[in-house]
Structures are given as structure tokens and as C-alpha cells.
Amino acid sequence: MYSVNFNNNLLTNNLILNNTFAKIINMKKIILSIIISLSAILTNAQVLTQSNFTGNIVPQVMGSATGTRLPFIYRATLTGLAPNTIYRYFTNLALRTDFGTTNSGAGNPLFIRTSDIRYTTGASLLTLGGYDSLTTNSSGSYTGWFATVNTGNARFTGGNYVFPSIVLDSAGLKRGIVNSRFCFANDSVLVLTYATTSGANNGSFIRGSSSGVAKNLVLLFQDTVSTNRPLSIGIIESIGINIASIVPDYVTNVQAVSGAWGTIIPNTLPSGVRRIEQRSLVTGSYINGSKSTNGTWGTTNTVNPLNGTTALVISSTNAPLPVKLNSFNAEITNKLTILNWTTASETNNKGFEVQRSFDGKKFETIAFVNGVGNSNKIVNYNFVDNNNLRAFYRLNQIDFDGNSEFSKVVSVKNNEELILQITPNPFANSIEVVTNKNIVSAEIIDITGKTKVLEVINGTNATIDTHNLSNGVYFIRVNNGETIITKRIIKN
């Protein structure tokens, strides 16, 4: 009896153990399958792909070699990322042969930020200083300036075409671990060799001085209207860092020199440089610029240059980055609008058109204020407009060569309370409207809300004909463009 029970218990235990082992084996298979799937996903995500990274302002050319380094700067947009998320990143420049591999290219990242600019010779998502961070917006995208400095890597051989690339981490999932490698699909960049001979793959160093703002960008174009991609982009010094092995002339005359800039242009350039612009570090928007119809700036001819690393020099006199508007404001005082503005520097400044609008859309020029021409110190300007109504104002700064640029729009509002007087009340065949501010309309409405009389007025008083109105109670509504006042009136 006991032996039978013992055998039955043993059989039951064996069955339980077998089922447990089977479950463990199945679980291992599931975990292994998940690991393989995740590995495949991560591997594919790490391959350099032409997606999610699009150029907005991308130069046509860049420099080469390890002893003639130079920042290559561009503006681009990242898409398809998690919204409102911080990512670590660094940038490179890749060849076509890098596509589909886990190699993102070569080059030393230059991290351009509004607060400061940093440079690293050791790109890494794990090492502090080897990466920078960006934050996506609510749509999972980010737009900004990026930069990479060429090195002695073979990718930076004259005649090669390289593609800007970016390496991103997992944004919190595995901080610092590579998750994505993206590069441009829409633009490539020609690498130029510094040379004193002609050739499609040769280039020359060019630099200039300016009154531009440090860290803003200088763009060089081969046309006067900047409709094509810029030839190249330089950064206005001082930027707070030194880059080793950079073009020798850059070290002496650009690096850490206030207002100076330097970059590279092709030796095969039949049109020359015809436009030089300053763009905002923060927004990328156009600030100001100058143009040449023949590619000659003073005595410097940029048509098919053969200078190599010996700089072509463009002075701030010949290629100004004109007026830096420091402030602009408006206020109503004693029933007059007073405009005040200052410039921090001026080059080639003919003066300012003062423009006014009452709707914020259609502006008209009401005055012209002469500029001082050229200045490197604060200059104060003012204009008084005989107006005490709500209005919008802007300045159109004009150079002597005809180039112009609009300021921001400022507005004024009369905070004085609108006072309305109606006489007589009760009334008969007419009433008189008197206010302390200019009004634009007066409307008489019956008790059902129907408009019976509408008068367009431009002044502080008006007489309204009411002989067609029946006797009864009405309301008069007066509008001065900012405030509406309604009063009860009676016709007897």
C-alpha cells in the first residue's frame, strides 16, 4: 500500500518538473527571440542612412587637409525624433561609401550654440566634451546651425563630395549609446584643395573685416540675390575658442579678432563673389549684406582667384555688414508719438525711412531721417509724429548703394480714457458727438439691435442727421479703433 502511493507521488513530481522545464525552455526561446529582434532593430538604427536630416542653408564647398583646417558650417533640420526630448549628438562628414555602414564619416565637431561655441577633437556620446545636446520641439524636430572641421582623413581629399552627418544617442533609454546615424539626402559638398593654380577642385582662402556681431554667420554667394546655395560660410570672431592646425592666415588675422571672418572659395569662379550676408546665430534669418555686380570689392577681385592659402582680403569699407540697430521704441506723450532708436555701428548708412500703419499691415512712409554714414559708436535718433492714435511703426534702413532692411515693428496705444458727450439728449433732428480722442465711426442702433444710422468719422466731433428716425429709445455706439463706448439716447 505504501509502495504504490510512493510510486504515484514520484510520477506526479516528475510530470511537474517536466512541465516546469518545458516552460523555462519556452521562456528562453521567447527572450532570445526578443533579444534578436531588438538587436536587429538597434543594428539597423545605427546604420548611416540618408534620412531625418535635411539641409536648409548648406555651402557648396569646404576646405581640406590637416594643416589647413577650417570650420564647415551649415544650417539643417532633424525630424522624426521624440517630441520635447534631449538628445546627445556629434557631427561628421561622410562619403557615399559610408552609407549603410556603422561609420558616420570623419571630422572634428564644432558645436555652435547661442551661449557659447565648443570644439572637440574626440567625438563621443559617452565622454563629456565629446558631444553636445539638442532639444526637439513638440513635433519631434530641431533646426539649428551645425559645424565640422576637416582633418587629415582621406575623406577630405580635394575632389571628394561629402555629406553632413549626425550621430544621436537613445535620449534616455540608454543615455550615451548610439541609436541613430543620419546624413543628408538633398545636398553634398565639394572638398577643395588650396592651390595657386586653376582647377575645379582647387580653392583659395578669403577673409574680411566687419562691424558684424560675434558668432553670427557670414555667407558668400556667387549671385547678387542669394537665390542659390552659398559658396561657403564663415563665422564672425571672436568666438572664444582656438582651433589648432587651422589655415595660417586665419590664425593671424581672423581667430579672436573682433568682427573678422574667413572661409574658402573655388578657384574656378567666373562670376566671383557677388554677395556677402550676415545671418543670425539664433534664428538663421538675414540681418544685412552687401553686393558687387562684378565680383570686385574695392581693389580685391574674386573672379577665378589663384591665391591658395594667401588670403584675398575684403575690408569692411568695401563689403560692409551695414547698420546694427541697437534699439527701437515708440510712446505717446502729450498727444504726440515719439520714436527713438539707436545704432551700435553704421557702415554706408544713408538713413531711415519712418513708416506708419494703423492696421499693422499697410505701411506708408511719413518721414526720412538722415544717417551718419559710418560709425563705430552709439548714435541716437528720434522722430516726432503728430499722432496720438493706436498705430504701428517700423524703420527702413537704406544704404547709399540702395540696399535696405526693415526693422522690427513697434506699436503705440493711447491709454487715456475715451470720453463721449452726446448733445442734445433727448434729441430731435440731429445730435452732436464730441470726444476727447479721434473716433472712426458712430452707429445708432434701435432696441432690436438693428443699425439705423452709420457715420464714418475722422475727428473728435461730428453732427449726425437723425430726422429719419422714429421717436423712441436708441443706442449710440462710438468706436475710436481701440475702444467702443455705447450710450442710451432718446428721440422725442
What would the 3-class secondary structure string for the chain be? CHHHHHHHHHHHHHHHHHHHHHHHHHHHHHHHHHHHHHHHHHHHHHCEECCCEEEEECCCEECCCCCCECEEEEEEEECCCCCCCEEEEEEEEECHHHCCCCCCCECEEEEECCCCEEECCCCCCCCCCCCEEEECCCCCCEEEEEEEECCCCHHHCCCCEEEEEEEEECCCCCCCCEEEEEECCCCCEEECEECCCCCCCEEEEEEECCCCCCCCEEEEECCCCCCCCCCEEEECCCCCCCCCCECHHHHHHCCCCCCCEEEEEECCCCCCCCEEEEECCCCCCEEEEEECCCCEECCEECCCCCCCCCCEEECCCCCCCCCEEEEEEEEEECCEEEEEEEEEEEEEEEEEEEEEECCCCCCEEEEEEEEEEEECCCEEEEEEECCCCCEEEEEEEEECCCCEEECCCEEECCCCCCCEEEECCCECCEEEEEEEEEEEEEEEEECCCCEEEEEEEEEEEEEEECCCCCCEEEEEEEECCCCEEEEEEEEC
pLDDT band of residue 99 (cuts 50, 70, 90) is very high
Closest CA to 168 of 39, 80, 286: 80
Q: What is the rounded average pLDDT of the residues 42-54? A: 80
Residue 459: the pLDDT is: 81
Confidence check: pLDDT of 461 > 60: yes
Q: Higher confidence at residue 374 or residue 387? A: 387
Query: What value, to the nearest 5°, has the Cα angle with vertex 295 and ends 293 and 301?
Result: 145
Q: What confidence tens digit (pLDDT) does each residue in 162-192 have? A: 999 999 998 866 789 999 999 999 899 999 9
Residue 13: the pLDDT is: 52
pLDDT band of residue 322 (cuts 50, 70, 90) is low
Q: Is 144 exposed, middle or buried (0-12, 13-18, 19+ CB in 10 A)?
A: middle
430-446 vs 472-479, strand pairing mode? antiparallel
- What are 244's three cell numbers? 589648432
Q: Is the peptide bond before 266 cis (omega within 30 degrees of 0)?
A: no
Sign of CA dihedral 149, 153, 154, 155: negative
Confidence check: pLDDT of 24 > 90: no
In this structure, the number of other CB atoms found within 10 A of the CB of residue 222 comes to 21
First to last CA, the chain: 123
Closest CA to 56 of 160, 144, 176: 144
Q: What is the rounded average pLDDT of the residues 56-66? A: 97
- What are 232's three cell numbers? 561657403
Residue 10: the pLDDT is: 47
pLDDT band of residue 33 (cuts 50, 70, 90) is very low
In this structure, the number of other CB atoms found within 10 A of the CB of residue 128 comes to 7
Q: What confidence tens digit (pLDDT) does each residue in 365-378 have? A: 999 999 988 776 78
Q: Out of 42-46, 72-76, 131-135, pick the least confident.
A: 42-46
- pTM (2 d.p.): 0.64
In this structure, the number of other CB atoms found within 10 A of the CB of residue 137 comes to 12
Q: What is the rounded average pLDDT of the residues 220-230? A: 91
**Average pLDDT score, the chain:** 87
pLDDT band of residue 200 (cuts 50, 70, 90) is very high
Percentage with pLDDT > 70 across the chain: 88
Q: Higher confidence at residue 106 or residue 391? A: 106
Q: What confidence tens digit (pLDDT) does each residue in 324-343 have? A: 677 899 998 888 999 999 98
Residue 242: the pLDDT is: 93
In this structure, the number of other CB atoms found within 10 A of the CB of residue 335 comes to 12
Residue 36: the pLDDT is: 39
Residue 407: the pLDDT is: 86
Rounded Cα distance between 437 and 418, Å, is 6
Residue 376: the pLDDT is: 66
Residue 316: the pLDDT is: 82
Percentage with pLDDT > 90 across the chain: 61
pLDDT band of residue 6 (cuts 50, 70, 90) is very low
Q: What confidence tens digit (pLDDT) does each residue in 392-411 have? A: 999 998 888 676 778 889 98
450 contact partners, CB below 8 Å, separation of at least 6: none
Rounded Cα distance between 111 and 124, Å, is 13
Q: What is the rounded average pLDDT of the residues 117-142? A: 95
Residue 253: the pLDDT is: 97
